[in-house]
Structure 1
Amino acid sequence: MLVAARELLAVRSPLDAELMVSDMIGAWWGRRLRGGDVEQVLGEGLVDYAAKAGNPAALTLLVAMAYLGTARQGAKAEGAALALMESGVARPSWADRVGAVKPTGCFVSRDEYGDQDTVVCTFAYRTDHLSGSPRPRRAGPTEDRHAMVLVVDYNMRGMARDAWVSSQVEKLLEQARSEAESNEMLRFEEIEPDQARALLESAMKATREPPGRRTPPPVSESYGAYHAFARARLKALPPGRKRPAPLHGEAPYSRDRRAMLAAEFLASDAAEHLSDPSAASRCADHIIDYGCDQDFGRALRVSPKKCETFLLSWLPRKVMLSPAEQEAMPHVLAAWVRFAAARTGLPEPGLRATLDAVWEATAKFSEAYRDPTAFGLPRALVERLLPDGDLSALARRVFAFPLLEGTHGDVDLDRLNPADDADRRVLLEIDHVGEGDRPDYEEHLAWHEEIASRLWEGDPPELWEAAQRLLDLGHDRHDVLHVLIEIAERIGDHPDELAAAFDDIADIPDEPPF
């Protein structure tokens, strides 16, 4: 990277320099290193290495990283750059202008479905400022206008999934306006800079914190290259909003409001053809919960992509449906689409496209949704393991409590409830028959209770992910549990450290600590 930084010596534009360095440090964005934080090991390591090199190429890299790096990287890079400049190392002509920008306008292109926002923030460089520092200090006239574009996807938890930069600002804005004028499913409007900052900071945070930490988030190939640039540019926008403005103006839904909305739907003309009111009611509850909990409180938002994701991804992973509910769900969802579209004013083309998507997904739904009873699990057993209906919890709860049927001595296992603390203790004692004479039996059993409770709740998610990796390698269940216990006992009550420790498990050591 330091060799590549030599190219920065020939660059004249601060924008080109910033984009080049953003691309360079984007090489490790979203990646993981075992036993260390990638931003610390590689990012801060690069700053330290450049500081020791002490040549003009190193200085150009440090100047850019003082603006584009993380807070720790930026502070270290600024100090190192100042030291090199004071020692007489020549700095590039653009050094004083890196990051010396002011916002000139913020805009958003939104589809009527509410699936995504394309946010355009325009900036220009200031032309008078103090020199001698690798960071901007003062405002002045502007030049070199450019646009930063980020795409926010609300079907992916509101994450920023794409980013790019354009110097053709007027052409970009005119194209967005033209597309909105010719397509009734698009809107293009100007928004306040503080609103843009809040929206994009929330989106970039969602991208940075994907549900599973072992793989990079599902973003475009170019996102990593622009991530550092976008993160730095957002700081040039005025703060003021702690969170984005409410999407489509919807307020949070309480349980009572959700129940009222379900009742309104079931009493509407859209639902009059549904033949099983009981199943329809439960299906409506799932649809509303999905909109409220997974889509920023937008229970009434419908789109082809949202309905497809709900039917083919979320339901099969998260919800335990009865056979009647499985049969009714596509029909209830289609009725909900008609009901919601009338309430929100979704244009007719959007309504037709969404209904088409529901019916196209219906045939796939029977294949995507796997009823646990189809694999030989009695429904009564599944209901004991899933009192909350969270289908995604089934495997980890079966792993935590494998002895739930039959008898042991005079204990009827079918009557024990793994969600009850007292019954949970009995189940774990039975799982440890023959170990009662070990001196640390009570303490050992208490740690098994701790791990079993965490597996039951899925807290942290990395715990079950680690267990699955070890099981896939062929390790015995009890050995896996003991490794998890050793980590929990060593880390203690430090949630982030505990999650990171579980996330780092790749195999059981040759000499397990038990």
Structure 2
Amino acid sequence: MSRRHRRTPADTPPPDDVFAEMLLAARELLAVRSPLDAELMVSDMIGAWWGKRLHGGDVEQVLGEGLVDYAAKAGTPAGLTLLIAMAYLGTARQAAKAEGAALALMESGVARPGWADRVGAVKPAGCYVSRDAYGDQDTVVCTFAYRSPGSYRSGAPSSPEEGEDRHALVVVVDYNMRGMARDAWVSSQVDKLLEQASAEAGGNPMLRFEELEPQQARALLESAMKATRDGFDRKGPPPVSDSYGTYHAFARARIKALPPGRKRPAPLHTEAPYSRERRAMLAAEFLASDAAEHLSDPSAASRCADHIIDYGCEQDFMRPMRVSPTKCETFLLDWLPKKIMLSPAEQEAVPYVLSAWVRFAGRRTGLPEEGVRATLDAVWEATAKFAEAYRDPTTAFGLDRELVARLLPDGDLSALARRAFAFPFLQGAAGDILLDRLNPADDGDRRLLIELDHAAERHRPDYQEHLAWHEEIAARLWEGDPPQLWEAAQRLLDLGHDRHDVLHVLIEIAERIGDHPDELAAALDDIADIPDAPPA
């Protein structure tokens, strides 16, 4: 190729000025008496980079491990306090490095704080979960206490109630965000917290408060924190609370103090997996129900019901029958406009079908009447916004509906732009070949379309190999695998680069990286521009 992509070097030096500031702040840890306060302070410190992206390197490696190295090199009491806390709060790699460095400093005579022996020396006292009747979220409360100093030093067992510094870790798990941990905080008012949660549930039919086995709490929270971690993309972290990063390291460490060994409890309203046959039966039950009798277009109603059921199964933990204001708003204003190609009849019908579904599903799941009313209100409030949120490509972009149908045989509206980029010539004729009759989803027709797109390059000695790479990139764009491929293409297109030059850069990277998905995704993330060709 005439152009070469140059990756940004990954060996960016660690920000020592940031480490120096953190080491200065760590002096306050020397005056702290409580291990809980020390852990929370360090969790807050290292939470400063949680959710950040570091170009050319992993943030936990460059900053987290860099801080450990900096504190070890400082060799001061403040540095030792950081290392002791990081040995408990850090990632596995950070903890291993911090523990080794801390032991070396202690052996050399560096003074350690009084709380050093008790960091992480906690036992779980009880776990609870507060659930709303909609099934939108779980608020998990895990209580802990430090072992008393005497029993810790002697090795004698002690009950959590007999320990010191009782505290509760509270984590909010949001199922409208694919089960992510969305918020976290710590409270020292354990009894007051539990009494308040129990009282609120006792007087509110929309809330449930119950005890949770510690093993189940651990499985639930590990799954939720993994979902949050997996929710990152190149545009930034998932939408969590401001306090989540502050308590992230503390929560991660406390969860490990819970006993392992149980499956996580299923979200509220979870049912057995829905096969295609079971989904079809559920749609038929709905359409035959009293809730759907007023729907005037049975064909459009059937297709809309299929979308509602598919959304509940694929995006909401196999819970098509679960309804809530937030879930319905997300379905109507976010998922449908991004994912589903609707006919004009379906666009008109979907709010009415969704309202009927709320009545049908609410009755089946036993949702309190006030919950059904609130959900219906949310649907009708969102209906006015739906016309703006759903941009029919046949009107918004001036595309022929038959052309859109060829590009979206699976109805995945989110794929339209990248597939149109991969196959821009689908109408008209090329010689005696009618492009309107070629199907870009068919391997044979796809190959022919790519050949027609590169007719001017048939003189190339590597024409067949080059064509095969274009076919590979086109197939990946069609499937959206990996998603970073289309993201990189959009960045280059936004900078004004020619479509063919963009394709050549994508081919070059795919050819250079080979069959290494993670390396390919990282290389694509690094693309910021197409550099000029080097001088001859």
If the length of structure 2 is used for normalisation, what is the TM-score? 0.93
Q: Which of 436, 455, 461 is residue 433 of structure 1 equivalent to? A: 455
Q: Measure the CA separation in 1 of the matches of 2:409 and 2:156.
A: 60
Match of 2:495 among 473, 481, 484: 473
2:421 matches 1:421: no
* 1:492 equivalent in structure 2: 514
Of 136, 142, 166, which residue of structure 2 is paired with 1:121? 142
Q: 1:223-264: per-residue Cα shift (whole Å, max 9, x none)?
A: 101101101111011111244435434111111111111011
* Shift in CA distance, 286/211, structure 1 to aligned 2, threshold 3 Å: farther
- 1:215 maps to amino acid: G
CA distance in 1 between partners of 2:415 and 2:534 (Å)? 28
Q: For residues 455 and 410 of structure 1, what CA distance do their matches in structure 2 show?
A: 28
Once superposed, what is the RMSD of the aligned Cα atoms? 1.7
| Offset of residue 130 of structure 1 | 6.5
Aligned to 1:53: 74
Provide Cα deviations, 1:129-187, integer angstroms capped at 9, x if missing partner. Answer: 667xxxx9996452211000111111111111111001010111111111112221111
Residues of 2 paired with 1:227 and 1:138: CA distance?
A: 31
**Number of the residue aligned with 1:213:** 234
Equivalent residue for 1:410, pick from 425, 432, 440: 432
> Which of 83, 88, 96 is the aligned partner of 1:67?
88
Instruction: Report the alpha carbon displacement of residue 288 of structure 1 after superposing the two structures with TM.
Output: 0.3
8 A Cα contact 2:427 2:435, kept in partner: yes
Does the alignment pair 1:483 with 2:513?
Answer: no
The secondary structure found in structure 1 opposite 2:140 is: strand
Aligned counterpart for 2:408 among listed residues 378, 386, 393: 386
Distance 1:344 1:274 in 2: 22
- Listed one character per residue, the Cα deviations across residues 265-291 of structure 1 (whole Å, up to 9, x for unaligned) are 011111111111111100000000000
Residue 317 of structure 1 is matched in structure 2 by: 338
CA contact (8 A) 1:123 1:145 kept: yes
Distance 2:505 2:414 in 1: 23
> Is 1:459 the equivalent of 2:478?
no
CA contact (8 A) 2:75 2:110 kept: yes
Output the CA distance in 2 between the equivalents of 1:244 and 1:454. Answer: 37
Tell me, what secondary structure is at the counterpart of 2:321? Answer: coil
Q: Which residue identity does 1:415 align to in structure 2?
A: R
In the alignment, which residue of structure 1 is the partner of 2:12? none
Partners of 1:150 and 1:160 within 8 A in 2: yes
Inter-partner Cα distance in structure 2 for 1:497 and 1:252: 34
**Alignment-derived partner of residue 5 in structure 1:** 26
| 8 A Cα contact 1:290 1:299, kept in partner | yes
Decide whether aligned partners of structure 1 residues 324 and 58 sit closer, same or farther in structure 2, where only a CA change above 3 A counts: same
* Residue type at the aligned position of 1:107: Y
Maintained 8 Å contact 2:270/2:317: no
Q: How far apart, in 1, do the equivalents of 2:255 and 2:77 lie?
A: 29
Corresponding residue number in structure 1 for 2:321: 300
Post-superposition Cα deviations, 1:191-246, rounded to whole Å, max 9, x if no partner, equal 11111111111111111111633312211111101101101111011111244435
1: CA distance between counterparts of 2:535 and 2:302? 51
Distance 1:424 1:160, change over 3 A: same
Q: Is there any run of 5+ residues in structure 1 with no aligned partner, and where?
A: none
Q: TM-score, normalised by structure 1?
A: 0.97
Q: Decide whether the 8 Å contact of 1:162 with 1:223 is kept in 2.
A: yes
Contact 2:43 2:248 in 1 (8 A): yes
Superposed displacement of residue 511, structure 1: 2.9
| Cα shift at 1:450 | 1.2
| 8 Å Cα contact 2:216/2:263 also seen in 1 | no
In 2, distance between residues paired with 1:172 and 1:355?
Answer: 32
Q: Which amino acid aligns with 2:266?
A: A
Change in CA separation of 1:513 and 1:207 when aligned onto 2, cut-off 3 Å: farther
Deviation digits for residues 48-90 of structure 1 (CA, Å, limit 9, x no counterpart): 1111111110100000000111110010101111111111111
Q: Looking at both structures, which has the greater relative contact order when contacts are Cα pairs under 8 Å and sequence separation is at least 6?
A: 2
Q: Distance in 2 between matches of 1:72 and 1:124?
A: 27
Corresponding residue of 1:229: 250
User: 1:281 is matched with which residue?
Assistant: 302
1:118 maps to amino acid? T
> Structure 2 stretches of 5 or more lacking a match?
1-21
Following superposition, the deviation at residue 501 of structure 1 comes to 1.6
Q: Report sequence identity in percent.
A: 83
Say which SS state the counterpart of residue 479 (structure 1) adopts. Answer: helix
